[in-house]
Chains A and B, each alone.
Chain A
């Protein structure tokens, strides 16, 4: 069997049994990057020497970890000590992280091999990876299309088989939407499940780190490795982490799946809607009970999100002033230094969100926008609490359309924001969600379905997704890049 066709679980097993060496695996993936990244531009940095050395150490000393010898790519907003963390921005272009994120420490202690940092929308703001200050990542299914965003590089690296798994971050859908558009699995864990320590903050009450993988089983493996309480993150939650790999293999007879009518609306691509509706039939065949449900405040989610996220972002990005890190612009006075540094260092989308957030937080507008949004956030959260009294999982499309063409929505930020319409509510309510492939459009672009779960009930959405993948083969198709 060819190396790139092995799943992450199979790779780990084969390395542990010494049927294959960690070096062979890492070298294989590095070669794949060498061959394909010229076309898709998923990586900001590749750690060739370090990754090979680490693989050799694992071969020599062995590893009892969950991820022994497994290559993994990391979104470039997660800190790795001694490496650049650029957030795909000019302002942090040369920033060397002085410490590692907790997820990185966890991955390393489980034996993973970090092979590179992946491209993203600058500071994770965007839905297409076109806002990277460096280059646009291409969708491996069609190089003229976007891979989704903001974790487009991480999604692309897995879809094009340049890494078996990767990490991304999801503030309003930045893992699930690119997973859907690239035809891979992407999970946003419940807020507090995975430590955010060492993740460059965008909107602190919404951000969460999560894995990309080719299938649900591999997602479960990585999520198990990175989850858990961390005393370095005050928003981390001290709850036991389920044994996802065992849990997912149970059947889903009798499980209740809710279909919210607000997610099947005008504007959703017909092919997307049909594929998602066909997948409901698969779940019925597997013994799930399908129920119609309602999340009445769904239509307000985009507005609420684009008040709360930029508000938090404008506060978080105040630290980029040219004093402690990042580039500094030449100037005569301190204020001039702040202004010139920030104006030259931030890209258009980041500036737009800082402006939006500063406005909605400013005196006179705080109540009308920010406080109002926080109240409607309560209504959105209450909708989910109500529905989850009746169902175990909610099923929706992940994205209203397949991947769009590069440049198509750049000039219209509102249209771009609407591409996250189905993923945003999950972050506002703090629940967990996964996107998995559920079909292909007539032009061979992947379509994703989203499964939303109760807080800290990742095992159920993973189980439902795993059972779907055992019945269907959408996740096995590879792009011809």
Chain B
């Protein structure tokens, strides 16, 4: 599958990245080289193979749903680029 500059622009939009013209050219070239290398996976017949998403068996881990006071709330909000009282502040959404 050949990646075009249009694909790169579309993926950048999905990934919320603004790319310069130079970056678009560079990523088109590099992603094509990388994906071409990955096409060797198609040589393998995996029709009867189950996918592995984790190397160990995963199960849901539950804990009691209890309300607790967070001791770190202030430290967490202090990292915000912009805040108002105990809220993260962003541009108007609506």
Interface of A toward B, CB cutoff 8 Å? 81-82, 95-96, 98-99, 191-192, 205, 231, 234-235, 237, 297, 299-300, 302-304, 306-307, 314, 318, 321-328, 331-335, 337-340, 342-343, 346, 351-352, 354-356, 358-359, 362, 365, 368-369, 371-379, 381, 413-414, 417, 428-431, 455
Flag whether B21 is at the interface (Cβ < 8 A): no
- Complex interface: chain B residues within 8 A of A299 (CB): 40
Query: Are A307 and B38 touching (Cβ within 8 A)?
Result: yes
Query: Are A322 and B81 touching (Cβ within 8 A)?
Result: yes
Knowing A306-B34, A338-B16, A355-B12, the reply to whether A326 touches B52 (Cβ < 8 A) is no
The distance in angstroms between the C-alpha atoms of A221 and B75, with both chains bound, is 33
Closest CB in chain B relative to A319 CB, distance in Å: 11
Q: How large is the interface on B (under 10, 10 to 19, 20 to 34, 35 or more residues)?
A: 35 or more
- Complex interface: chain B residues within 8 A of A368 (CB): 1
The distance in angstroms between the C-alpha atoms of A377 and B53, with both chains bound, is 8
Query: Are B91 and A333 touching (Cβ within 8 A)?
Result: yes
Query: Are A362 and B14 touching (Cβ within 8 A)?
Result: yes
The distance in angstroms between the C-alpha atoms of A322 and B79, with both chains bound, is 10
Query: Are A205 and B15 touching (Cβ within 8 A)?
Result: no
- Complex interface: chain B residues within 8 A of A334 (CB): 90-93
Query: Are A414 and B34 touching (Cβ within 8 A)?
Result: yes
Closest CB in chain B relative to A357 CB, distance in Å: 8
Q: A234-B61, A359-B35, A414-B30 known; 5 other A-B pairs, CB under 8 Å?
A: A81-B75, A303-B37, A331-B91, A376-B44, A430-B55
Flag whether B25 is at the interface (Cβ < 8 A): no
Knowing A96-B75, A96-B79, A192-B56, the reply to whether A351 touches B17 (Cβ < 8 A) is yes
- Complex interface: chain A residues within 8 A of B37 (CB): 302-303, 414
Interface of B toward A, CB cutoff 8 Å? 1, 3, 7-8, 11-12, 14-19, 23, 27, 30-31, 33-35, 37-38, 40-42, 44, 46, 49-56, 58, 60-61, 63, 72, 75-76, 78-82, 88, 90-93
Query: Are B53 and A98 touching (Cβ within 8 A)?
Result: no
Query: Are A98 and B63 touching (Cβ within 8 A)?
Result: no
Query: Are B75 and A98 touching (Cβ within 8 A)?
Result: yes
Main DSSP-derived SS at the B contact region: loop
The distance in angstroms between the C-alpha atoms of A371 and B31, with both chains bound, is 19
Knowing A231-B63, A342-B16, the reply to whether A306 touches B72 (Cβ < 8 A) is no
- Complex interface: chain A residues within 8 A of B75 (CB): 81-82, 96, 98-99
Query: Are A377 and B52 touching (Cβ within 8 A)?
Result: yes
Closest CB in chain A relative to B36 CB, distance in Å: 9
Nearest to B49 among chain A residues (CB) is A375
Closest CB in chain A relative to B19 CB, distance in Å: 7
- Complex interface: chain A residues within 8 A of B33 (CB): 413-414
Knowing A99-B72, A303-B37, A355-B31, the reply to whether A430 touches B11 (Cβ < 8 A) is no
CB pairs A–B below 8 angstroms (7 shown): A81-B75, A235-B54, A235-B56, A326-B79, A340-B18, A358-B15, A414-B30
Closest CB in chain A relative to B48 CB, distance in Å: 9
5 interchain residue pairs of minimum CB distance: A430-B55, A374-B51, A98-B75, A328-B81, A375-B46
Query: Are B78 and A96 touching (Cβ within 8 A)?
Result: yes
Nearest to A205 among chain B residues (CB) is B54
The distance in angstroms between the C-alpha atoms of A337 and B88, with both chains bound, is 14
Query: Are B17 and A321 touching (Cβ within 8 A)?
Result: no
The distance in angstroms between the C-alpha atoms of A429 and B92, with both chains bound, is 46
Knowing A191-B55, A323-B90, A342-B17, the reply to whether A379 touches B49 (Cβ < 8 A) is yes
- Complex interface: chain B residues within 8 A of A455 (CB): 55-56
Query: Are B17 and A355 touching (Cβ within 8 A)?
Result: yes
The distance in angstroms between the C-alpha atoms of A113 and B10, with both chains bound, is 48
Knowing A352-B30, A359-B11, A374-B51, the reply to whether A430 touches B80 (Cβ < 8 A) is no
